[in-house]
Amino acid sequence: MKKRDLADSHWKENYEKWEYASDHYDGSYAVYELHGGKLSHYLEQKYQRENNKAFEERMNITDPVLHFGTVVDSINGVLASKQDQTIREFGGLGEPDVKGSIAEQLMHNADGNGTNWMPFFKRVGIKLTVMQELYGYIRGVSEYGEPCIKIIDPRNVINRYPKSGEPEEVLICEKMDTRTGMYEGDDQTEVFTRFTLDGWEQFMYDGDDRKVIDSGEYAYYADASRTRRILPIFRTEIPMPRNVGYLLSLKENHIFNQKSVRDFAVRNMSYAMLVVGVEDDKQFQSVAMELEKGGNIIPQFTGTPEHKFISPASAYLSESQKILERDIEEFYINGFKKYGETAKMVTATQIKLESQSGIESFLNLLNETVDEFENQALFRLEQVYFPTNPNNWGIAFAKRSNNFQPEEMPDAKQLAEIAVNMERSGASSLDTLVRTLHPTWDDDEVTAEIERINRERGASPVPPQLFE
């Protein structure tokens, strides 16, 4: 039994889009397979006139582009810059600046892996921007540690019921290490976790045989009356009519392939082609042999045509460069514009946000969705810590500022010009790019951003909270 056999239509329709956008954000789309990437999935081989050897060479020297990640990080950087204006109360969880309080513990370890509260919710915003929807999971007190919040990637949520509204059942599938020893079986086994209103059950399949691994019970309620149960898992989604992250990653992949072809053409033109003037194959083999030995002198036989070097016409490279620069510029401008315009379509009919510009509209939508994620998490954490005292439920909350002034918006035109200038100069230093795009950041912030870009995704092997 495979996960696709148990998946609902929403997962089947969106999984490839989530995967595509995520691969372009974390850079695995441009990483060679030997290094754990997916380069051959995203770099296209020309059907005609590019043999396998030439394509393999091009794969090895292809340079990644990071425009999609820059747009996503810039948007969430603006969101994070307003963090000091956030109104946040922890209610009965205590004060975050009081040593030993629950709030203080959460502020320094939100996810059970040592991630601070603020960076954790910046990660929530980034993932929402990339994939548009996201799940959260509250892990209660267990053998694995204190209560905490886990991010669940929508690619792992293969089924939910009902399909719309607040879910009452959720089925998670992910790869886990289920071995009891180092040399016992595969260390990546598909494991399913089914969450219901009463508890969870974890199982796996051996062929069609279902084997239960573990189970547990819990009780979460919709309000203090404790009349309706809810799950420890909750779903949040930016209310936009199309998946902009996926569309922008498609655009980045086009630029990536276009740049790869352009760069490879320049490389090929660096090696001139020799036309050998000979009368027969014997003479040709003789000249070829001398060249293979490293010779750089070719005898001129009387009566034979003159040898000469030729190079392909390179005029088209200039036009190719112009097209590439235009695509990069349009990516940044349209990247911010598409997020903004998509958000405006929703605000005009559903949310009626008081926004002044397109990107502000999206920032408001993202802001409210991250708030929803945090408030859903806080409400469940209150129930974990005060299961028998409903008076302590619903007090903790967070409200981020919606005051995004136009002068504080990312300058899309400026970002495009920076990217084009770096493309022209060949500047490929990640440190240079980060410092250029974020001139106010200190060394620690620059280092953290570089590490984020270079860091590969990983999943914790601890059931049932294997998520980030």
> Integer distance in angstroms from the first to the last C-alpha of the chain?
26
Q: pTM for this structure? A: 0.74
Mean pLDDT for 220-233 is 96
Higher pLDDT, 348 or 234: 234
Residues 159 and 248 in one domain: yes
Residue 261 has pLDDT above 90, yes or no: no
Structural domain of residue 401, as residue ranges?
3-27+64-260+317-454
pLDDT per position as a tens digit, 372-390: 999 999 999 999 999 999 9
Residue 102 lies in a domain: yes
Residue 315 has pLDDT above 70, yes or no: no
Residue 355 has pLDDT above 80, yes or no: no
pLDDT per position as a tens digit, 449-458: 777 666 533 3
Token pair of 116 as six digits = 């601070």
Specify the pLDDT at position 414.
Answer: 58
Residue whose C-alpha is closest to residue 423's, from 245, 219, 263? 263
377 forms beta bridges with none
- In angstroms, rounded to a whole number, what is the distance separating the alpha carbons of residues 359 and 365? 10
Distance of CA 72 to the CA centre of its chain: 9
Specify the pLDDT at position 113.
Answer: 92
Phi, psi of 174 (to 5 degrees): -155, 165
Higher pLDDT, 388 or 300: 388
Residue 134 lies in a domain: yes
| Torsion-angle region of 467 (φ positive above 0: left; ψ -120 to 50: alpha; else: beta) | beta
Mean pLDDT for 338-359 is 47
Residues 385 and 450 in one domain: yes
Token pair of 4 as six digits = 């696709």
Residue 379 lies in a domain: yes
Specify the pLDDT at position 416.
Answer: 60
Residue 158 lies in a domain: yes
Neighbour tally for 279: CB within 10 Å:
11
Residues 69 and 109 in one domain: yes
> What's the domain count of the chain?
2
Specify the pLDDT at position 409.
Answer: 45
Residue 464 lies in a domain: no
Residue 346 lies in a domain: yes
Would you call 246 exposed, middle or buried from its count of C-beta atoms within 10 A (0-12, 13-18, 19+)? Answer: buried
What DSSP designation does 33 have? Answer: G
Residue 179 lies in a domain: yes
Residues 254 and 323 in one domain: yes
Residue 83 has pLDDT above 90, yes or no: no
Residue 296 has pLDDT above 60, yes or no: no
